[in-house]
Amino acid sequence: MNIIKLKILTLIDKLHKVTEVSSVLRMKQPTVTFHMRSLEQEMDMPLFASHKGRVVLTEGGKAILPYAQQMVALEDEIRKTAADWAARHDEKIRVGADHYSEAYILPEILISYSNLNPEAVFEVSVHAGEMLEELLVKGDIELAVYQEGNPWKGPYIKKTVLKDRFLLAHGAFHPMNKLKEASPEELNKHRFVYSRTCPLQLEQMKLWSEQHDLPLSNTLGLNSLEAVMTAVRTGQAVAFLPESCVIRHEQGIFTAPIPGWKQSPCTIRTACHSERPRSEGSQDFWHYITAYSGFNA
């Protein structure tokens, strides 16, 4: 007995229209009708009848309906169980990251983990923070790594990977490099560059300017942090950059505390969805990344 025939029986009882059943099952109407007749032949009794333009179940159809519903529900449960098992045993560890974390936080962790687990296969995708949250909800990624901005609300488990801070960055030939100590007013005379892919960077600049009641007008948005660093190295612009980004990865850029700025730590977090199954590899990587101490070495 084909389970699709039993699905048709349950849907006829609910919808009473062959056209609507065919739409739900994405079948052609003659195919649905064929399965209805085939089921009647298997049961050796009429199961369907027409009544005032509607298709209804006969008494025989109603008699087997509860068993059909149980079998359809059981098939749904089997498929769900199989999907959950497949998700837990997926060979790929599906990680989503924002642009900053993908470029400056994840590479070191991924290499370190892969050295210990050569069989690990990662699928890393890069998205803005709000998109990462949506992908977690859909199950398209198993965990996210991101600079925390607006807090995520939902059934997530979140852990801190790194506590960072923003520094003032400038090139060797920039006028700021000649000053032992600069005031916010002096700093605001120079051009600021920022990355459009790192919203927290622009947010920090705005908070700083508002705190000192300074107009933030001489700014230039670029398409990546790498472009920002190139602009800073030329000595023609300054930027607020995460310390981990500059200290660990860049040469030719000088840094100093941001004048007159008492900031909260910039936190890099990893998050997973508490109500979705994760592969064994993903669970192992989750424990590894939350315990990773390389950034403090």
Report residue 89's pLDDT band, with 50, 70 and 90 as the boundaries: low
| pLDDT score of 7 | 95
Check residues 278 and 58 and name the one with the higher pLDDT.
Answer: 58
Work out the mean pLDDT of the chain and round it to a whole number: 88
Report residue 91's pLDDT band, with 50, 70 and 90 as the boundaries: confident
Give the CA diameter of the chain.
96
Report residue 297's pLDDT band, with 50, 70 and 90 as the boundaries: very low
| pLDDT score of 6 | 95
Check residues 180 and 62 and name the one with the higher pLDDT.
Answer: 62
87, pLDDT greater than 80? no
**pTM of the full predicted structure?**
0.59
Check residues 245 and 6 and name the one with the higher pLDDT.
Answer: 6
Report residue 90's pLDDT band, with 50, 70 and 90 as the boundaries: low
163, pLDDT greater than 80? yes
Report residue 261's pLDDT band, with 50, 70 and 90 as the boundaries: confident
Per-residue pLDDT tens for 183-227? 999 999 999 999 988 888 888 899 899 999 999 889 999 988 889
| pLDDT score of 14 | 94
| pLDDT score of 279 | 80
| pLDDT score of 278 | 81
Check residues 85 and 87 and name the one with the higher pLDDT.
Answer: 85
115, pLDDT greater than 50? yes
Least confident of 19-23, 78-82, 94-98: 78-82
Report residue 92's pLDDT band, with 50, 70 and 90 as the boundaries: confident
Per-residue pLDDT tens for 218-259? 999 998 888 998 999 989 999 998 888 776 556 788 888 999
Sheet holding 156-164, edge to edge: 121-126, 92-97, 143-147, 266-273, 156-164
As a whole number, mean pLDDT of residues 92-97 equals 91
Residues of the chain above pLDDT 70, percent: 94
